[in-house]
Amino acid sequence: MKCCQGDTFSDGELQRFGNIELSPSAGILNYGQGLFEGLKAYRKQDGSILLFRPEENALRLRSGAERLCMPSPTIEQFLEAVKYTVLANERWIPPAVYASPVGNYFKEGLSPINLIVETNMHRASPGGTGGVKTVGNYAAVLKAQTEAKSKGYSDVLYLDSVHNKYVEEVSSCNVFVVKQNKICTPAIKGTILPGITRKSIIDIARGLGFQVEEGAVTVDELLEADEVFCTGTAVVVSPVGSITYLDQRVTYGKGGTGPVAQQLYSALTSLQMGVTGDKMDWIVRLN
C-alpha cells in the first residue's frame, strides 16, 4: 500500500503469535511506510490489568498515519485490539498487535545509564518524520547505537541536525535536564517523538510544584545540569549517570540516581501500578 486513498482499516481477529505474510511489494518493505506503538499493561496484585493512557498511543498512531499516507484505526478500534490482545496474551491482526512480557529496557535496570552524544549522525531533520513513530527513524540511528554499545555506552543522545548543538532525544526516550530544581526538556517541533511519558512527567512534575520549561536545551546546558534523566514507556524514568561529548565525560551527582528523577519515578510508577489514586483519569482498567 503506497497511499491511503481507497484503503480502509478493517477489524481484525485474534490469532496465535507467529509470522505474517507480506507482499514483496509491500510499502513497508520498499518505502519504510511503517508505524508502531508500544504500551505497557501492569498487573496489580488483585489480578486487575491496567493500561496507562492508551488513547494517547491511538492518537499518536493516527497522526503518524496521516503523515505517512496510511489508513489508521479509530481510537475505539485501537483500544479494542489492545484490550483483547492483552487479555488473551496473543496477537491481533490486521495490523499486528501483540502482547509480550517485558523486563528493564536498559541492562542497568534502574541504575543510572551512560550516554554518548552523537555528533555525526542524526535521527531526524526539520520537515522529516522525526515526530512520528515510524520505522525509518530507528533505521537512521542503528549504526550510531551499535557503535555506542560496542564502546560500553547504554545509548546515544542525538543533537539537532541544523546546528548540531541542541539536544533532541535518546534512541528510545525523551530527555530532561534539572538545574537548581528547574526542569527543562526539548520542545516538540517535529524532530523528536512526542513521548506519552514525557507529557505525563511534565504534568506530574508541575503537580509536585516543580517549574517545568519546554524549549531549546543546548549541549552545554546538558553538560552543566545538576541532573539528567530520560523518559519513555520502556525506560519509565531512567537517571543518567554520565554523558560523554567529544572528549569530555561529565558525571552527574556522583553517578547515582538524582533526587528529582527518583521522586518522579516513584510518582509515575505508583500511578501506573494503581497504588496511588488516578486523579487525572489516565488509567484504563481492562478487567
- Catalytic residue positions, numbered: 133
3-state secondary structure of 5: coil
Among residues 34, 73, 112, 195, which is the contact residue for ligand PMP, using CB under 6 A? Answer: 195
Position of minimal CB gap to ligand PMP: 195
**Which 37-76 positions form the footprint of ligand PMP (CB under 6 A)?**
38
> Which residues, including other chains, have CB under 8 Å from residue 21's CB and lie 6 or more apart?
none
Applying CB under 6 A, the span of 113-121, 176-184, 192-200, 236-244 interacting with ligand PMP comes to: 192-200
Is 196 near ligand PMP (CB under 6 A)? yes
Going by C-alpha positions, the residue among 95, 31, 61 that lies closest to residue 193 is: 61
Q: How are beta strands 174-179 and 41-43 bridged, if at all? A: unpaired
Applying CB under 6 A, the span of 3-11, 99-107, 190-198, 259-267 interacting with ligand PMP comes to: 190-198
Smaller CB distance to ligand PMP: residue 124 or 260? 124
Smaller CB distance to ligand PMP: residue 155 or 227? 155
Is 145 near ligand PMP (CB under 6 A)? no
Among residues 61, 115, 167, 173, which is the contact residue for ligand PMP, using CB under 6 A? Answer: 173
Alpha-carbon distance values, 118 to 66, 105, 123, 285 (Å): 30, 20, 10, 40
To the nearest whole angstrom, how small is the minimum distance from the Cβ of residue 38 to ligand PMP?
Answer: 6
Going by C-alpha positions, the residue among 182, 187, 189, 222 that lies closest to residue 206 is: 182
Alpha carbon distance, N-terminus to C-terminus of the chain: 36
The beta-carbon contacts of 19-28 under 8 Å, at least 24 apart in sequence, are 20/93, 20/96, 26/1, 27/1, 27/2, 27/70, 28/135
Among residues 169, 177, 229, 239, which is the contact residue for ligand PMP, using CB under 6 A? Answer: 169
Smaller CB distance to ligand PMP: residue 81 or 253? 81
Is 257 near ligand PMP (CB under 6 A)? no
Map residues 206-245 to x or -, x wherever contact with ligand PMP holds by CB under 6 A.
Answer: -------------------------xxx------------
3-state secondary structure of 80: helix
Is 193 near ligand PMP (CB under 6 A)? yes
Quick check: 170 and 153 in contact, CB under 8 A? no
Is 122 near ligand PMP (CB under 6 A)? no
What does the block give as the cell for 78?
Answer: 485501537
Among residues 174, 238, 257, 272, which is the contact residue for ligand PMP, using CB under 6 A? Answer: 174
- Scanning 19-88, the segments in alpha helix (DSSP H) are 27-31, 54-67, 75-88
Spatial distance between the Cα atoms of 185 and 239, rounded to a whole number of angstroms: 14
Chain residues that interact with ligand PMP, rule: CB under 6 A: 38, 169, 172-174, 193, 195-198, 231-233
